[in-house]
A and B are shown apart, each in its own frame.
Chain A
């Protein structure tokens, strides 16, 4: 909870800093703040199992803290990485505060206990992102991305609200606990529109994590947005959304799972197919990553699906998020470096990277292997956990499909590696990497490897 407050305060401070013309201190301040939030998180972890604030509106229990830990860590590295990007911009403080506000929303999503906080969390997270997506003001692509994101996001919000309204109508409450109690108490006597509401919420969240057929916005927005913002979207936002999904569907609506699980299975299947197949034909790495993020979302949704019968899946979700964030951070950072070194975002820009910057190429390869799920990278364990969870469920066909499509997945990840190591570059000039980015990439790479080699570490870190 304190973490949430600290971040909110940071956002304000960042704005104040601009007023007082002390832009230089924003970054250190932000980083310090995030560390502070993390420390606060840590203490909360050790003190109580569950503290509720404000009439059970928001509760930072251990899963919430775990997810917010991931989000904060990612954000921490993101800020380091984004440093030089911000410097180019005149509205540094605005950017900082917007990102920080989005973080607030994300943190809320991990900890909400009430539909109100859920809804507000979603919006607080989304609105700054709409702006950020469009933040390259002169670039029509960026504008378009922001616009699309906004329209589609609002549409999804409307759907979400409709769902919330229906659920409220059935249960008479916005409280998650109350809803799940209601479900338990009125088994067999639940109005139909409650289920419609659940489905609507599911759809809204599928939109947020860009699962097919609600994924349409993702590739466009990912491509159009500034690379670093895309990184933020695909890591923080996704993790937060999954934290929310976890709470909603694995806890609150668990009992109505017969209604939504088969739908979810179909959504996953569709996502797997569409994302992997389309990613395989992309020429732009950024777009490819967008599609790949859809496929990862599908994998994480599988955990949600599996939870129907298996309660150990929180581990899996957290682990997968972490692995995915690590890989994505590296990938987007590399992309950023390349495009800021005069390249575009296509596969050809990666040609011969191994010669231009062996370090970058190595870590990018690592990230790709991790995203492809090859041992001993973090991504492998992520997939492993998903499989472990899925195997007990009746959706074995989905598992087979996941295996086959991830074979396709390997194809496009490898395409990057091939380009880097096998193709020759047009220009052989060395790629210049700024220190902060180097730092981020190396740390993220080490984490990716480390939790791949010693996954027990994470499991011990988050013991529930």
Chain B
């Protein structure tokens, strides 16, 4: 089956083409079915590949497709690499992807762009698969940009809304900033190693200077920052929530945004060599995690909260990467995919029920109206807050443990982040599902549970969110950490915990205790005291206001980049181009005319004057020839 790895991206591509060309002509049902089946087929193939790989001796198998770019020593074949990392990601992508496709058939049912939606979605899966399956940076980069494109298309799916379009554009451009870093990184890799193929490069990584490796690693990380919404390139992700909710679940939570993690894990060789790079990753990760978590505290849009939470969780993953816990990060990616997809889909279900309303201030008391959604959301919330035995607990704990090992300060920040996470997630939960309904009468009347096509994926994901932790049970429990063993072949320095069991227990206990405490605090705040978020901004205290406004980062960027560029654009055009360079060019022309007109005056028609001119010419000539030496 591994030989047929090309099938994995092929199926979504076929789905994309069918939907793309005939989407309008076939019925909605058929369109959705084709999309789902293509992903399902992909998933099955991925599963087969995964199994086969597990039994194979060679853990890193290359599948040739065709030759793509050749330029002397630069050979970029279209080649796939099947190894534990890629096969695992394939499973996540196609698996979650399939669930979300199914969910979408329900969620998008009323939308006029139904087939278009699936076209994009299939295309996205295709690119995402390319991203993880490629055997060189360029294939990854294709996928990398491709998913950016799909993200653009899907965020701006409702293209008549200007704000959505702006969000889409912002996402694309911010991603592109990262992509430039990535691309330069790739080029530096090529320049350094003469190749961009993973298997070649990693073998040679030790032979070049650490400085070069650091540069490469940092450049690649810029790419990861863009894609995985890390500081300072994170602002697009919250805006990206403009897209339909399944998109947020699939792209902006479960898969695409984890591409950065994937890429860093893929390149772990570089990061293992370069401490500077690793350190940077860790610091940016933790700062982002903390920063986004604080913003999450005061948001009122259900999807925005989840978006900031995603940013924050991604930061946590980078923290894991930074401290060398690559497999833990992948583990967290997996569990995060489960519970965050679940949360988003749940949120989608809520929004669906509320008829499009996303503001939690206008919700409340939904738990009885939409039971399945509530329960699954609850599971997801618990999972993300890190309570055992839900999956989030294990993955997060593993990262924090490794961080503790590495640096106490980072660990502390990580802890704070996870406490904040627990806070805002439960805030979300309480405000949405408990208390009294605060929406309009119409909405209340309209409330209903989502169709089966939406709830089934919820249930499946909820189940996964509960048991997902089993993939990476802590070693010190005496169990095998399946995940880290699985990934061992692709990681240069597998990182096994060296902490005492007591310390680990202690950390774990601390985490659980703090989470419980926060949940209780939240319960007190929102359930007992019935605190409600302020309706208007001016009711907030200044510091709250600042956080509520996301620290004004967007405004700062606006002032720092957008406005100056707009200004420059006008200035360059109006002043430099038209009034300076072109004016010089035109000025030459004008001065020709001017000189011409002046010289014309010499031609005044008077013979005497002409002769004077001639004589003066003679005088000058003789003067110059004979007298001036």
Q: B599–A278 contact, CB under 8 A?
A: yes
A278 to B617 CA separation, bound complex (whole angstroms) = 18
**A residues near B607, Cβ cutoff 8 Å:** 147-148, 151-152
- Specify the chain A residue showing the minimal Cβ separation from B602: A216
Q: B614 within 8 Å of A by Cβ?
A: yes
Task: Report A158 CB to chain B, min CB distance, Å.
Answer: 11
Q: Is the CB of A199 within 8 A of B599?
A: no
Whether A281 pairs with B617 at a CB distance below 8 angstroms is no
> Which 4 A-B pairs have CB atoms at the shortest separation, nearest pair first?
A213-B617, A281-B596, A216-B610, A277-B596
- Known contacts A213-B617, A277-B592; A152 and B610 CB within 8 A of each other: yes
- Known A147-B607, A196-B626, A276-B592; 18 more pairs at CB < 8 Å: A152-B607, A152-B611, A196-B622, A199-B621, A200-B618, A207-B614, A212-B617, A216-B613, A217-B610, A219-B603, A260-B625, A266-B621, A267-B621, A277-B596, A278-B596, A278-B603, A280-B592, A281-B593
User: How many A-B contacts if CB must be within 8 Å?
Assistant: 74
Q: Given the interface contacts A155-B611, A199-B622, A281-B593, does A213 sit within 8 Å of B603 by beta carbon?
A: no
Q: Which of A151, A159, A263, A281 contacts B624 (CB 8 A)?
A: A263
Asked if A44 is an interface residue, CB under 8 A from chain B, the answer is no
> Which A residues, 113 to 171, have Cβ-Cβ distances below 8 Å to chain B?
147-148, 151-152, 155, 159
Which residues from B are CB-within-8-Å of A45? none
Q: Is B605 an interface residue (CB 8 A)?
A: yes
Q: Is A259 an interface residue (CB 8 A)?
A: yes
The answer to whether B621 and A263 have CB atoms under 8 Å apart is yes
The verdict on A195 contacting chain B, using a C-beta distance below 8 Å, is yes
- B596, A263: Cβ atoms closer than 8 Å: no
Bound CA span A55–B593, Å: 53
Q: Which residues of B contact A192 (CB under 8 A)?
A: 626
A274 within 8 A of B: yes
Bound-state CA distance A207–B607 (Å) is: 14
* A200 nearest CB across to chain B (Å): 8
Complex Cα gap A266–B621 (Å): 9
Residues of A201-220 whose CB lies within 8 A of B: 203, 207, 212-214, 216-217, 219-220
Q: Given the known inter-chain contacts A148-B607, A278-B599, A278-B600, please indicate yes or no for A155 contacting B625, CB distance below 8 A.
A: no
Residues of A within 8 A of B603 (CB): 216, 219-220, 278
Q: How far apart are A266's CB and chain B's nearest CB, in angstroms?
A: 8
CA A280 to CA B596, docked complex, whole Å: 7
Name the B residues within 8 Å of A411 (CB-CB). Answer: 589, 592
Q: Is the interface of B mostly helix, strand, loop or mixed?
A: helix
Contacts of B625 in A (CB 8 A): 195, 199, 259-260, 262-263
Query: What is the bound-complex CA distance between A267 and B617, given in angstroms?
Result: 9
Q: How far is the CA of A199 from the CA of B622 in the complex (A)?
A: 8
Q: Which of A212, A260, A266, A281 contacts B600 (CB 8 A)?
A: A281
Q: Which residue of B lies closest to A211 (CB)?
A: B617
Is B595 interfacial (CB-CB < 8 Å)? yes
Say yes or no: A277-B610 contact (C-beta < 8 A), given A213-B616, A263-B625: no
Contact flags B574-603 to A (C-beta < 8 A → 1, else 0) = 000000000000000100110111011011
Question: Does A402 have its Cβ within 8 Å of any Cβ on chain B?
Answer: no
- Interface positions of B (Cβ within 8 A of A): 589, 592-593, 595-597, 599-600, 602-603, 605, 607, 610-611, 613-614, 616-618, 621-622, 624-626
Which residues of A sit under 8 angstroms from B613, Cβ to Cβ?
Answer: 213, 216
Compute how far the CA of A273 lies from the CA of B602 in the bound complex, rounded to whole angstroms: 14
The reply to whether A220 and B605 form a contact with Cβ atoms under 8 Å apart is: yes
Distance in angstroms from A215 CB to nearest chain B CB is 9
Distance (whole angstroms) from the CB of A277 to the closest CB of chain B: 4
Residues of B within 8 A of A147 (CB): 607
Q: Which residues of B contact A199 (CB under 8 A)?
A: 621-622, 625
Chain B residue contacts of A219, Cβ below 8 A: 603
Give A408 to B592 CA distance when docked, in angstroms.
8
The listed residue with most B CB atoms (<10 A of its CB), out of A147, A213, A220, is: A213
B-chain residues with CB within 8 Å of residue A203 when the two chains form the complex: 617-618, 621
Contacts of A196 in B (CB 8 A): 622, 626
Cβ-defined contact, B599 with A274, below 8 A: yes
From 195 to 248 in chain A, residues with beta carbon under 8 angstroms from any chain B beta carbon are: 195-196, 199-200, 203, 207, 212-214, 216-217, 219-220
CB closest residue in chain A, given B598: A277
B residues less than 8 Å from A212 (CB atoms) = 617
Tell me the minimal C-beta distance from B220 to chain A in angstroms.
Answer: 50
Distance (Å) between the CB of A333 and the closest chain B CB?
Answer: 26
- Tell me if A10 is interfacial: C-beta within 8 Å of chain B: no
CA distance A355 to B113 in the complex (A): 55
Residues on A with beta carbons closer than 8 Å to the beta carbon of B624: 262-263, 266
**Min CB–CB distance B618 → chain A (angstroms):** 6
Given A196-B626, A203-B618, check contact A280 B610 (CB 8 Å). no
For B589, B611, B613, B621, which residue has the most chain A Cβ atoms within 10 angstroms? B621
A100 at interface (Cβ–Cβ under 8 A)?
A: no
Q: Please indicate the chain A residues that have their CB under 8 angstroms from the CB of B592 in the complex.
A: 276-277, 280, 408, 411
Bound CA span A227–B600, Å: 22
Scan A169-205; emit 1 where CB is below 8 A from any B CB, else 0.
0000000000000000000000010011001100100
A279 at the interface (CB under 8 A from B): yes
| B611 x A214 contact (CB < 8 A) | no
Chain B residue at minimum C-beta to C-beta distance from A216: B610
19 A-B residue pairings within 8 Å (CB atoms): A148-B607, A152-B610, A155-B611, A195-B625, A196-B622, A199-B622, A207-B614, A214-B617, A216-B613, A220-B605, A266-B621, A273-B595, A274-B599, A277-B599, A278-B596, A278-B603, A280-B592, A280-B593, A281-B596
- State how many angstroms separate the Cβ of B395 from the closest Cβ of chain A: 71
Chain A residues contacting B616 (CB-CB under 8 Å) are 213
Q: How far is the CA of A130 from the CA of B621 in the complex (A)?
A: 28
- For the complex formed, measure the closest distance between the CB of A380 and the CB atoms of chain B, giving whole angstroms: 22
Query: CB-CB contacts of A377-415 with B at 8 A, as 1s and 0s?
Result: 000000000000000000000000000000010010000
Do A281 and B610 touch (CB < 8 A)? no
Min CB distance A253 to B, Å, is 13
Contacts of A263 in B (CB 8 A): 621, 624-625
Bound: A274/B603 CA distance, A: 11
Q: How far is the CB of A251 from chain B (nearest CB, A)?
A: 21
CA distance in complex: A447, B621 (Å): 39
User: Contact check: which of B602, B614, B622 meets A214 at CB < 8 Å?
Assistant: B614
Query: What separation, in Å, do the CA atoms of A276 and B599 have in the docked complex?
Result: 10
Which A residue's beta carbon lies closest to that of B595? A277
Interface centre among B599, B617, B624 (most CB of A within 10 A): B617
Q: How far is the CB of A87 from chain B (nearest CB, A)?
A: 32
State in angstroms the CA–CA spacing of A281 and B616 once bound together.
25
B622 surroundings in chain A (CB, below 8 A): 196, 199
| Per-position binary interface string of chain A over residues 106-118, scored 1 when its CB falls under 8 Å from any chain B CB and 0 otherwise | 0000000000000
Q: Which residue of B lies closest to A259 (CB)?
A: B625
Chain A contacts for B618, CB-based, 8 A: 159, 200, 203
In whole angstroms, what is the CA distance A457 to B607 when docked?
Answer: 45
Residues of A within 8 A of B593 (CB): 277, 280-281
Rounded to whole Å, the gap between the CB of A79 and the closest CB of chain B is 32
Distance in angstroms between the alpha carbons of A192 and B600 in the assembled complex: 36
User: By the criterion CB–CB under 8 Å, are A155 and B599 in contact?
Assistant: no
Contact of A213 among B595, B596, B614 (CB under 8 A): B614
Residues of B within 8 A of A280 (CB): 592-593, 596
Q: How far is the CA of A212 from the CA of B616 in the complex (A)?
A: 12
Please, how many angstroms separate the alpha-carbon atoms of A45 and B616 in the complex? 44
B interface footprint on A249-281 (CB within 8 Å = 1, 0 otherwise): 000000000011011001100000110111111
Q: Are A216 and B626 in contact (CB under 8 A)?
A: no
Q: What's the Cα separation between A220 and B604 when bound, in Å?
A: 10
Q: Which residues of B contact A195 (CB under 8 A)?
A: 625-626
In the assembled complex, the Cα of A50 lies from the Cα of B596 at a distance in Å of 46
Within the complex, the shortest CB–CB distance from B209 to chain A, in Å, comes to: 49
A267 CA / B589 CA spacing, docked (Å) = 23
B610 to chain A: which residues have CB within 8 Å? 148, 152, 216-217
Alpha-carbon separation in the docked complex, A280 to B593 (Å): 7
B138 to chain A, nearest CB (A): 45
How many angstroms from the CA of A203 to the CA of B618 in the assembled complex?
Answer: 7
